[in-house]
Amino acid sequence: MGKPPPITNRVRELREAHGQMSQAALGEAVGVSRHTIIAIEQARYSPSLETGFRIAKVFNVGLEDVFGWEGD
């Protein structure tokens, strides 16, 4: 298996703190599938910038409150 992307995230933590929001509900809110949300949470997929902003908007936080960078 390949190296995970250097982007970290708090999507699962924020989703659970937001009334136990389901992965499907978050996906619907931002216009992606539940499987995409799962892949983002498991750091198997880095979302587009647009999707990242949409996720942050759902939780009413800044982009850097959702995503972090652990790259070089």
Tell me how many domains the chain contains: 1
pLDDT for 6 equals 81
pLDDT for 31 equals 98
**Within a domain: residue 30?**
yes
pLDDT for 5 equals 67
Give the domain extent around 59: 7-64
**Within a domain: residue 71?**
no
**Within a domain: residue 58?**
yes
Series of mean pLDDT values for 10-residue runs along the chain (72 residues)? 77 96 98 98 93 98 95 68
pLDDT for 70 equals 84
**Within a domain: residue 11?**
yes
**Within a domain: residue 1?**
no
Name, in order, each residue with C-beta under 8 angstroms of 17's C-beta and a sequence gap of 6 or more: none
d(CA 17, CA 6): 24
CATH code, 51: 1.10.260.40
What pairs with residue 9 in β-bridges? 67
